[in-house]
Amino acid sequence: MVEAGDFGTSPDDVQFRFRDDEPVDHGTVTVDSALEQTNANAVRIEPGDDARLLLPFLDRLALVEINFPAFTDGRGYSAARILREAGYAGELRAVGDVLIDQLSHMRRCGFDSFAPDKRLDEEDAKRAFATWEKVYQHAADTALTGRATIAQRRHGEGA
């Protein structure tokens, strides 16, 4: 029986999702709890948590929420990339103070699901996700999709 937590967002809170599979239907546990319980499959990372603590259990995680209590606190971007770099393939959800102008950077860092505290304008969000036609630097998106960076394009590498 999967350990369900009291924390976190539910599928109803998710406003944007870029996955085909079914979202997890229960809440998340904290990182501390996840380390203790061997069957939790949904975890919530707070800004002060070390995402690498989850590395031994990535295979059993279907959902990792990363909380942005204030949009100015950028620790979640590093946490997201670290998880993707470690091969985490489950849902990576940005929650909290998620505003239009952070969406594209979050997507680039590997988030594929978004549950902002305040629902966002759909049109503005669509435009925001399409911000980066080309990108300078390597990030989770270039790794996951094989999308070429500008430097790679200049030298005939990558798609």
In angstroms, what is the minimal distance from the CB of 44 to another protein? 17
Residue 131 DSSP one-character state: -
Helical H runs in 3-121? 31-36, 75-85, 103-108
In angstroms, what CA-CA distances link 100 with 57, 115, 128, 132? 32, 12, 6, 14
Shortest Cβ 113–another protein spacing (Å): 17
Could you tell me the smallest distance in angstroms from the CB atom of residue 99 to another protein?
A: 6
Sites of contact with another protein (CB under 8 A) = 47, 71-75, 77-79, 81, 85, 99, 101-102, 104-106, 108-109, 121, 127, 131-139, 143, 149-155, 157
> How many Å apart are CA 4 and CA 70, to the nearest integer?
26
- Closer residue to another protein, CB minimum distance, 1 or 154: 154
Other beta carbons within 10 Å of 144: 12
Question: Min. distance of Cβ 152 from another protein in angstroms?
Answer: 6
CB of 8 to another protein, least distance (A): 22
**Contact of 11 with 23, CB cutoff 8 Å:** yes
Comparing CB distances to another protein, the nearer of 93 and 108 is: 108
- Give whichever of 21 and 133 is closer to another protein, judged by the CB atom: 133
By C-beta, is 6 or 85 nearer to another protein? 85
Pick 40 or 114: Cβ nearer another protein: 114
- Other Cβ atoms within 10 Å of 126 Cβ, number: 11
Q: Please tell me the distance from the alpha carbon of residue 114 to that of residue 100, in angstroms, as a whole number.
A: 11
